Amino acid sequence: MNQDFYRKLVTIISEEKIKQNELLACHTTFRIGGPADYFVLPENPQEAAAVLKLCRKEQMPYSIIGYGSNLLVSDAGYRGLILKFPCQKALVQFWQENDRLCARAGAGVPLMVFARDAAKAGATGFEFAAGIPGSVGGAVYMNAGAYGGEIKDYLVAVSVLDEEGNCQRIAADELELGYRHSVLQQKPWYVYEAEFTFPMGETEAALQKIDELMRMRREKQPLEYPSAGSTFKRPEGYFAGKLIMDAGLAGFRIGGAAVSAKHCGFVINEENASADDIMAVVKHVQKTVKERYSVDLELEVRLLGDFS
Ligand SMILES: Cc1cc2nc3c(=O)[nH]c(=O)nc-3n(C[C@H](O)[C@H](O)[C@H](O)COP(=O)(O)OP(=O)(O)OC[C@H]3O[C@@H](n4cnc5c(N)ncnc54)[C@H](O)[C@@H]3O)c2cc1C
């Protein structure tokens, strides 16, 4: 541990917002991941900017996480600093402009809460987001989507801290939003707020649709096991889960990691799996599907830490 760096860190953010050797398994839905040297929970963008500036000055590697619902962290953890906005349920504002509902949400707001609140405030079309267990920041970064809807359909702009720690507002059409892709994946930017616009409709109908989509998730997805959702992106013209099932890999297991028999698109932490177990299953699935169907399965899950 770099005590000189720690001494400088506590001059810009209070000690109770910094953890050393924090186990990242506690911050991922896979429940997997070794310790991060430093784990910092800034309360506002100004604090986050100061921490990022210090990291750059001191050449301390850093990474940003949301709710860890699309992350596989290595067993060795992360050598550097992890920045995470704490859960910020209150940082949501709704207002009406003509026949649209507009919203501004902090990056740490749970997407599930935001989508339900948007429906209650009169939004229609955003129901798909109510079952995605990430943060608003993570959802923008991933252009999360489900059941035919995507974040990009409703996003107006994001506010980010850029590489110099300066605030920038970036319009959605500059973010190159595509299937599980945004330009943020190539930039060291920290999203701290996002703005949305929704068509308006019947609140009761929107809430019913959310309940219906949640029921479908419970029926079809292995929500009883820790996972990061769909492990692979949907290859053009195919469904990853179907290819994996057709390859006879339902239930395929290495160590504590397995291909879910309920939904083959999910690699699950069935029993105290390590990150290495998950990666061993991932690699076997990729190799088998490539051999059988000549299809490359690309990881949707993001990797953090050393996987060499
Ligand atoms: C049971 C289950 C079901 C799921 N269903 C879906 C689904 O239907 N559709 C779907 O799209 N996804 C789904 N996911 C995956 C996941 O919920 C989404 O990808 C989500 O958007 C990730 O958000 P997060 O806050 O957890 O991000 P994290 O997993 O913490 O991070 C993901 C990436 O985003 C970056 N990031 C996070 N926050 C920020 C920020 N503020 N600024 C800059 N970068 C940031 C991180 O660096 C990382 O690279 C599912 C996951 C689970 C466990």
Q: What is the pLDDT of residues 65-119, one digit of tens each?
A: 999 999 999 999 999 999 998 767 678 999 999 999 999 999 999 999 999 999 9
**CA pair distance 220, 245, nearest whole angstrom:** 14
**CA pair distance 182, 141, nearest whole angstrom:** 6
Nearest to 52 by CA among 194, 187, 180, 176: 187
Answer yes or no: is the C-beta of 126 below 6 A from any ligand 1 atom: no
> Could you give the percent of the chain with pLDDT greater than 70?
99
Establish how many alpha carbons lie within 13 A of residue 90's alpha carbon, considering only the half-sphere containing its beta carbon: 3
pTM: 0.96
Predicted confidence (pLDDT) at residue 54 exceeds the cutoff of 70: yes
SS (H, E, C) 90-115: CCEEEEEECCEEEEEEECCCEHHHHH
Predicted confidence (pLDDT) at residue 192 exceeds the cutoff of 90: yes
> What pLDDT, on a 0 to 100 scale, did the predictor assign at position 201?
96
Coil, helix or strand at residue 290: helix
Give the CA angle between residues 264, 302, 61 to the nearest 5°: 160
Residue 147 near residue 115 (C-beta atoms within 8 A): no
> What pLDDT, on a 0 to 100 scale, did the predictor assign at position 3?
82
Report DSSP letters for 218-253, one per residue: HHHS-TTS-B-S-SBPPPTTS-HHHHHHHTT-TT-E
Q: Domains of the chain by range and CATH? A: 3-83 (3.30.43.10), 92-220 (3.30.465.10), 240-304 (3.90.78.10)
Q: How many CB atoms lie within 10 A of CB 7?
A: 9
Ligand 1 centre distance from Cα of residue 217 (Å): 17
Q: What is the mean pLDDT of residues 118-138?
A: 97
Which residue among 29, 62, 65, 127 has the greatest number of ligand 1 atoms within 8 angstroms of its CB, and so is best to mutate?
Answer: 65
Ligand 1 centre distance from Cα of residue 71 (Å): 7
Strand 267-269 relative to strand 257-259, pairing: antiparallel
Give 123 or 165, the one with higher predicted confidence: 123
Ligand 1, atom 28, lies closest to the CA of 68
**CA pair distance 74, 193, nearest whole angstrom:** 28
> What pLDDT, on a 0 to 100 scale, did the predictor assign at position 195?
98
Q: What is the mean pLDDT of residues 192-204?
A: 97
Structure tokens at 123: 């939004």
> What pLDDT, on a 0 to 100 scale, did the predictor assign at position 308?
79
Q: What is the mean pLDDT of residues 296-300?
A: 98
Burial 159-198 (b: 16+ CB within 10 A, else e): bbbeeebeeeebebeebebeebbbebeeeebbbbbbbbbb
Q: What is the mean pLDDT of residues 258-268?
A: 98
Answer yes or no: is the C-beta of 68 below 6 A from any ligand 1 atom: yes
Q: What is the mean pLDDT of residues 226-252?
A: 97
Q: What is the pLDDT confidence band of residue 162, given thresholds at 50, 70 and 90?
A: confident
Catalytic residues: 180, 230, 300
Predicted confidence (pLDDT) at residue 166 exceeds the cutoff of 80: yes
> What pLDDT, on a 0 to 100 scale, did the predictor assign at position 88?
74
Q: What is the mean pLDDT of residues 22-47?
A: 96
Ligand 1 centre distance from Cα of residue 119 (Å): 21
> What pLDDT, on a 0 to 100 scale, did the predictor assign at position 1?
66
Answer yes or no: is the C-beta of 110 below 6 A from any ligand 1 atom: no
> Could you give the percent of the chain with pLDDT greater than 90?
93
List, for residues 138-149, the tens digit of each pLDDT value.
Answer: 999 999 999 999
> What pLDDT, on a 0 to 100 scale, did the predictor assign at position 199?
98
Residue 268 near residue 256 (C-beta atoms within 8 A): no
Ligand 1, atom 27, lies closest to the CA of 138
Give 301 or 86, the one with higher predicted confidence: 301
List, for residues 278-291, the tens digit of each pLDDT value.
Answer: 999 999 999 999 99
> What pLDDT, on a 0 to 100 scale, did the predictor assign at position 89?
67
Ligand 1 centre distance from Cα of residue 204 (Å): 28
Report DSSP letters for 186-198, one per residue: GS--EEEEEEEEE
| Adjacent-strand bridge partners of 170 | 158
Answer yes or no: is the C-beta of 184 below 6 A from any ligand 1 atom: yes
Q: Tokens 């993001």 correspond to what residue?
A: 302
Answer yes or no: is the C-beta of 130 below 6 A from any ligand 1 atom: no
Predicted confidence (pLDDT) at residue 20 exceeds the cutoff of 80: yes
Predicted confidence (pLDDT) at residue 163 exceeds the cutoff of 80: no
Ligand 1 centre distance from Cα of residue 297 (Å): 19
